[in-house]
């Protein structure tokens, strides 16, 4: 009932701001993050392919506005969400003749969608409301907050997954009401300060994404928000990010917040634009568990060093923590094509890889993709293809509390490990409308008869059945195919207010003769800025 009143209040506020606010231009606050969502990312990616620059690093998100000073795309003027209430702005003493400039902005968020699950023959409503607010002081200090909440039901192919862990991907806990509906609330935000154009310092609760593709094998935005402290440095052709995260382990969750155990992570990402067209980047991280029933442990000061590589550091302190390294690269051609790739190594023993005996600890993954904008000289037509493969037991650990996950969701690919995936995207946009088609085909090696075959990263790798002979997609092979056709019309682009209509066709089969076809129709009106995945 409380959530319903909040949703109604949010809709009233939305109407109020549509009436009372004006859309205006402004300088880009250099300390502000660009909101992460698929449509914004596509537009920025296309701009960067057409206008490559050594100052911009495309593979680390969220982007800082200070790195987008030359961005221009009239199709996404909502990128800066320049909705300002004049009364509040004047109250905060804004003006070009003032030494201290204050800007207060608000972006109302609604996500109202009605769907129909043809398999179960039932209607599937989704009602989400909230707001994104931002206080900008002198363009170098930003306070931003995004609050979301709502009630929703899900089509059968998602509902089965949500019931298992009671977690909405990217949005946190889901509270079932016993009638097929879920309620949730989600809060994210940050405080950001840029003393100059080189350094940015942030403290917040949010998520990050590393890569140039749709998926990431290094770090994605699939899991829930988490507290972090980050330092970003842009010098010459180099961008360096180091951040420290406070994560939660869900393996012993019994319904109470006290059962969530602490875990911590430190991440390093070095991006180098050798030319405007070619980028190579290096990633490393370590995840370690906090207090459990056997020991008391908090944040390890050994991992505060912002530049050290963790493997030597781990060996020097005798650590058994979970560390991982990765590589990301991209190259652009003819201002129309970008080829990108990733490689991740959770364990790497060259002798065992060379032997080709399928050792269990050969835990690696790789990605290869290509984006083609204005394809075949058709303005607005974008094509993208991507391949992802991850070997068994990657991202897992002997201690489940130290796996590469947060709040019951993987920190990298939503499938976990032990899979091969093919993705294809076609989109065409002109003026205020866009048509898109997404296709997915994946083979995932699931556990067979209760034996850990390496897909479930929430199992300890010590439960593996044998040492050698492991191969990708081993076990009970689940074959997943999904297509999503969507039409989008931007009613008010400056507010990201859009109408969406779409159709999802999903089929799943496996070696145990399980097969299901799940068609789903949906229509909605939205200003939402969050990323909600429906293809896992």
pLDDT digits (tens, 9 = 90+) for 464-520: 999 999 999 999 999 999 999 999 998 887 778 899 999 999 999 888 767 778 899
Q: Which residue has the tokens 């009233």?
A: 12
Q: Could you count the other beta carbons within 10 Å of the beta carbon of residue 361?
A: 16
| Structure confidence at residue 81 (pLDDT) | 40
Closest CA to 155 of 115, 189, 182: 115
DSSP per position, 180-227: S-EEEEEEEEEEEE-SSSSEEEEEEEE--EESSSSS-SSB-S-S--EE
* 364-389 burial code (b ≥16 CB/10 A, e <16): bbbbebbbbbbbeeeebbbbbbbbbb
Check pLDDT > 90 for residue 389: yes
| Residue ranges of domains in the chain, CATH in brackets | 2-526 (2.40.160.130)
**Residue 182 contacts residue 140 (beta carbons within 8 Å):** no
Q: Select from 208, 216, 316 the least CA-distant residue to 266.
A: 208
What is the per-residue pLDDT across 224-249, written as a single tens digit (0 to 9) for each? 999 999 999 999 999 999 999 999 88
* Contacts of the segment 231-236: beta carbons below 8 A, 24+ positions apart: 231/199, 231/200, 231/201, 231/202, 231/306, 232/64, 232/199, 232/200, 232/201, 232/202, 233/198, 233/199, 233/200, 234/55, 234/57, 234/66, 234/67, 234/197, 234/198, 235/198
In this prediction, residues 440-468 reach a mean pLDDT of 93
Predicted confidence (pLDDT) at residue 259 exceeds the cutoff of 80: no
Give me the residue label for tokens 């037991």. Answer: 393
First vs last C-alpha separation in the chain:
31
For residue 191, what are the β-bridge partners? 143, 203
For residue 13, is pLDDT > 50?
Answer: no
> How far apart, in whole angstroms, are the C-alpha atoms of residue 493 and residue 25?
14
Report residue 332 as tokens. 């652009």
User: The tokens of 377 are what?
Assistant: 């000289």
Q: What is the mean pLDDT of residues 332-358?
A: 90
Q: How confident is the model at residue 140 (pLDDT cuts 50, 70, 90)?
A: confident
Give the side-chain half-sphere CA count within 13 A for 384: 24
């Amino acid at each position: 009932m409380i959530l319903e009143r909040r949703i109604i209040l949010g809709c009233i506020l939305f109407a109020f701001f549509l009436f009372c606010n004006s859309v205006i231009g402004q300088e880009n606050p250099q300390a502000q993050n660009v909101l992460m969502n698929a449509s914004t990312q596509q537009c920025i990616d296309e701009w960067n392919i057409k206008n490559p620059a050594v100052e911009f690093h495309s593979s680390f998100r969220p982007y800082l506005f200070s790195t987008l000073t030359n961005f221009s795309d009239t199709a996404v003027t909502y990128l800066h969400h320049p909705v300002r209430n004049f009364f509040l702005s004047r109250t905060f003493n804004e003006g070009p003749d003032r030494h201290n400039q204050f800007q207060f902005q608000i972006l109302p968020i609604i996500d109202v969608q009605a769907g129909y699950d043809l398999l179960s023959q039932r209607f599937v409503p989704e009602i989400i409301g909230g707001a994104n607010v931002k206080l900008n002081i002198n363009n170098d200090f930003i306070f931003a907050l995004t609050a979301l909440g709502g009630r929703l039901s899900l089509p059968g192919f998602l509902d089965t997954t949500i019931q298992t862990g009671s977690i909405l991907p990217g949005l946190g806990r889901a509270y079932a009401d016993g009638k097929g509906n879920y309620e949730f609330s989600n809060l994210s935000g940050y405080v950001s300060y840029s003393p100059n154009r080189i350094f940015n310092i942030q403290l917040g609760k949010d998520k990050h994404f590393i890569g140039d593709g749709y998926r990431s094998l290094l770090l994605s935005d699939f899991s829930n928000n988490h507290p972090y402290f980050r330092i970003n440095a842009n010098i010459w052709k180099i961008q360096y990010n180091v951040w420290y995260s406070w994560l939660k382990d869900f393996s012993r969750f019994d319904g109470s917040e006290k059962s969530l155990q602490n875990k911590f992570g430190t991440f390093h990402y070095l991006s180098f634009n050798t030319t405007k067209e070619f980028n190579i980047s290096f990633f490393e991280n370590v995840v370690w568990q906090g207090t459990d029933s056997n020991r008391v442990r908090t944040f390890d000061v050994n991992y505060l060093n912002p530049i050290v590589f963790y493997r030597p550091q781990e060996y020097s302190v005798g650590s058994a923590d979970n560390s991982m390294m990765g590589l990301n690269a991209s190259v652009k051609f003819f201002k129309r094509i970008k080829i990108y790739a990733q490689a991740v190594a959770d364990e790497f023993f060259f002798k065992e890889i060379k032997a080709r005996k399928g050792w269990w600890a050969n835990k690696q993954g790789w990605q290869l993709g290509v984006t083609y904008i204005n394809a075949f000289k058709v303005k607005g037509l974008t094509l993208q293809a991507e391949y992802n493969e991850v070997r068994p037991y990657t991202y897992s650990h002997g201690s489940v509390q130290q796996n590469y996950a947060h709040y019951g969701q993987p920190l990298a690919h939503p499938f976990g490990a032990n899979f091969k995936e093919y993705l294809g995207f076609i989109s065409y946009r002109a003026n205020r409308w866009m048509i898109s088609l997404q296709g997915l085909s994946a083979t995932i090696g699931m556990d067979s008869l209760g034996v850990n075959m390496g897909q479930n990263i929430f199992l300890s790798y010590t439960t593996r059945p044998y040492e050698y002979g492991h191969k990708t997609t081993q076990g009970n092979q689940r074959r997943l195919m999904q297509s999503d056709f969507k039409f989008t019309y931007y009613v008010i682009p400056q507010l990201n207010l859009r109408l969406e209509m779409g159709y999802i066709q999903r089929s799943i089969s496996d070696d145990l003769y399980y097969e299901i076809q799940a068609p789903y129709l949906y229509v909605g009106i939205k200003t939402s800025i969050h990323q909600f995945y429906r293809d896992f």
